[in-house]
Amino acid sequence: QVQLVESGGGLVKPGGSLRLSCAASGFTFSDYYMSWIRQAPGKGLEWVSYISSSSLYTNYADSVKGRFTISRDNAKNSLYLQMNSLRAEDTAVYYCARDRSSGWEFDYWGQGTLVTVSS
């Protein structure tokens, strides 16, 4: 069965860095686009970034452009999000999600990992 398991969240000071990981299993990881989506406490969903199946294409929300970097290692079935220059407004649960058709349809989500940016 398809599984996505995020890790790497935690408490970090403003201006700090964090690297999130998402371990995928149960499907051919290299066939799918993947995205990171976040949800601030008590708020709605916000798309963060996507990466194409071969890493050829990436894209970012304006709110994280220049600070976050998405990457993947298809040999390790893993997705990553390097987050630099973190701000308080980056505090959220971060989900990785599989795009079923490269059409921005997220059919599987991980359980999420909480990132808290606070001094």
Partner 1 sequence: QSVLTQPPSASGTPGQRVTISCSGSSSNIGSNTVNWYQQLPGTAPKLLIYSNNQRPSGVPDRFSGSKSGTSASLAISGLQSEDEADYYCAAWDDRLRGVFGGGTKLTVL
* Contact residues: partner 1, CB under 8 A: 35, 44-47, 50, 59, 61-62, 95, 100-101, 103-107, 109-112
Closest approach of Cβ 42 to partner 1, in Å? 11
* Residue 86: closest CA among 111, 118, 108, 60: 118
Closest approach of Cβ 119 to partner 1, in Å? 28
**116 or 119, CB closer to partner 1?**
116
Residue with tokens 């690297």: 19
**35 or 92, CB closer to partner 1?**
35
Closest approach of Cβ 13 to partner 1, in Å? 27
**87 or 100, CB closer to partner 1?**
100
Closest approach of Cβ 105 to partner 1, in Å? 4
**61 or 75, CB closer to partner 1?**
61
